[in-house]
Chain A
Amino acid sequence: MMTTVFNIENLNLFYGDFHALKNIDMVIYKNQVTALIGPSGCGKSTFIRCLNRMNDLIPEAKMEGCVRFDGEECQIGGYDVIGLRKRVGMVFQKPNPFPMSIFDNVAFGPRQQGIKQKEVLQGIVEKALKQAALYEEVKDRLTSSALSLSGGQQQRLCIARALALEPEVILMDEPTSALDPLATQRIESLINDLKEDYTIVIVTHSMQQAARISDYTAFFYMGELREIDTTEKIFKAPRLKQTEDYITGRFG
């Protein structure tokens, strides 16, 4: 029996009058990679932003329903949102390193948490960079600007920055769509390594990427979760014709 990290029940989200997510029921399993696929505007990104309450930052977004993280309702007032975002890290489509050194980028979160001792920070930064498979490439220039790194390296730096806070879940919103094939391959292989210790939810437009890296695939369409199943089942014989039509490129 697999442990669940997120239990989502009857989740609805509105941007003003626009009903962006409709009655989503979904479970996210621990140490599994769950890929979210579906045409643009189907609600994938909006959905993952519910998982660490990033939608709180959008004034007109209104959420209904229940999202339980680690058994606890995390959408209610009074819930420790900062703590939630520490435990549920996020990596975005475009690498967004801060305009500071490689070291300071990774140390940023831990410093915010109040960690000051140099040796402790060094240990955290080294560990996170190693986990993000970037350490060997940057170990001799940790004080250089993060902006001097290539796009693929910047994205791995952002993953290291998320890992430095020792999250339980990493949300990735099209993390490779701005990267070349080799950099994409490195991130994909990294995702595969990371799932040993983390739960990963990834939004992707690449069907092949979903097929390569995920354990579960969820198909969203017009704000609804239409089908979720093991990735093998989805790409071998999905239950719904609509899913089949989407993954085979017949629409979308």
Chain B
Amino acid sequence: MNERQHFERQLAKLRTRVVTMMNDVADQYKRVRQALELNDKKLAHGLIAFDEDINQQEIDINENVLSIIIRETPVATDLRMVITAIKIASDLERVADYACNIAKYIIHTQAQALYTDAIDAFFPPILAMFDQLAQAYADKDLELAMAVAKQDEQIDDLFEKHVKKFIRITKTEINTSAEEAARAILVIKQLERTGDHLTNIAEAIIYHQKATHIVLN
């Protein structure tokens, strides 16, 4: 319809912004994983610097939504779409902060296989979640959005397994080893939270399509 063309273009632009932010944050996780594997402090610094860009993307999405609400007073699916964009951007921004915190860990600690291997195990499910979310968002694929929760369960299991192990170290070892274990606990906690936020995004995608709140995990 002609009279909606301008509005449709604005919605399409907003969708593109969300997809771009999702991809950029996923890239941050790919980079932080690489930095961890290679103990590449320079790469870690680089991704911390890029966080500014991610923060700005969230602001841009919020402003974009505000402008659409003011000018177009969207309702029903359109309203749910723009509200969902704000929610997704907010979760992505938080998740990007976690990637930065892990980058800081890489910069400030001596890599030890015991910890880096454990941390690395979180990345396959997290990166799979990003892929599923991007596709679920683009294709409005509810089943795929639901599937995201499965990966989150895997992340929670990993967290339980490793946190117990690391806590034991903090109790039995002294000085540096205990501190390293404590730092590693902080990192895996952030990865566990990443899974929760990505699950929130899956719930937001479902809300946009179905107008019902579903708690996936």
Q: Which residues of A contact B (CB under 8 A)?
A: 207-208, 211, 235-238, 244, 247-251
CB pair A248 B73 closer than 8 Å = no
Q: Is the CB of B76 within 8 A of A249?
A: no
- Residue B46 at the A interface, CB < 8 A? no
> What's the nearest-Cβ distance from chain A to residue B207, in Å?
10
Q: How far is the CB of A229 from chain B (nearest CB, A)?
A: 12
User: Residues of A contacting B80 with CB < 8 Å?
Assistant: 236-237
Question: B4–A249 contact, CB under 8 A?
Answer: yes
B4 CB, nearest partner CB in chain A, Å: 6
CB within 8 Å of A: which of B72-99? 73-80
| Interchain CB contact under 8 A, A237 and B76 | yes
Q: Are A250 and B75 in contact (CB under 8 A)?
A: no
The interface residues of chain B lying within 8 Å CB-to-CB of A238 are: 76
A247 interface neighbour in B3, B4, B7, B76, Cβ under 8 Å: B76
Residues of chain B touching chain A, judged by Cβ–Cβ distance below 8 Å, are: 1, 3-4, 7, 73-80, 211
Distance in Å: Cβ of B8 to nearest Cβ of chain A: 9
A208 proximity list for chain B (CB < 8 A): 73
In the complex the two chains form, is B3's CB within 8 Å of A249's CB?
Answer: yes
With a cutoff of 8 Å between Cβ atoms, the chain A residues found around residue B1 in the complex are 249-251
15 residue pairs bridging A and B, Cβ less than 8 Å apart: A207-B73, A207-B75, A208-B73, A211-B75, A235-B79, A236-B79, A236-B211, A237-B77, A237-B80, A247-B76, A248-B74, A248-B77, A249-B1, A249-B7, A250-B1
User: Roughly how many angstroms separate A211 CA and B76 CA in the complex, as a whole number?
Assistant: 11
Q: Specify which chain B residues have a CB less than 8 angstroms from the CB of A235 in the assembled complex.
A: 75-76, 79
Q: A236-B211, A237-B211 are in contact. Are A248 and B3 (CB under 8 A)?
A: no
Cα–Cα distance between A44 and B70 once the two chains are bound (Å): 29
> What's the Cα separation between A118 and B54 when bound, in Å?
74
Kindly provide the distance from the CB of B212 to the nearest chain A CB, expressed in whole angstroms. 8
Q: Which residues of B contact A251 (CB under 8 A)?
A: 1
Expressed in whole angstroms, the Cα–Cα distance for A211 and B79 within the complex equals 13
The listed residue with most B CB atoms (<10 A of its CB), out of A235, A250, A251, is A250
A251's nearest neighbour on chain B, judged by CB, is B1
Find chain B residues with CB under 8 A from A207 CB: 73, 75
How far is B139's CA from A11's CA once the two chains are assembled, in angstroms? 43
The answer on a CB contact under 8 Å between B4 and A236 is no
In the assembled complex, which residues on chain A have CB atoms less than 8 Å from the CB atom of B79?
A: 235-236
Instruction: Give the residue name and chain of the A residue nearest to B212 (CB).
Output: A237
Name A244's contact: one of B3, B7, B73, B76 (CB within 8 Å): B76
In the complex, chain B residues whose CB is within 8 Å of the CB of A244: 76-77
Chain A residue at smallest Cβ distance from B73 = A208
- Given known A249-B3, A249-B4, contact A236–B76 (CB-CB < 8 A): yes
When chains A and B are docked, how far (Å) is the Cα of A205 from the Cα of B77? 20
Residues in chain B near residue A236, CB distance under 8 A: 75-76, 79-80, 211
- Chain B residue, CB-CB nearest to A238: B76
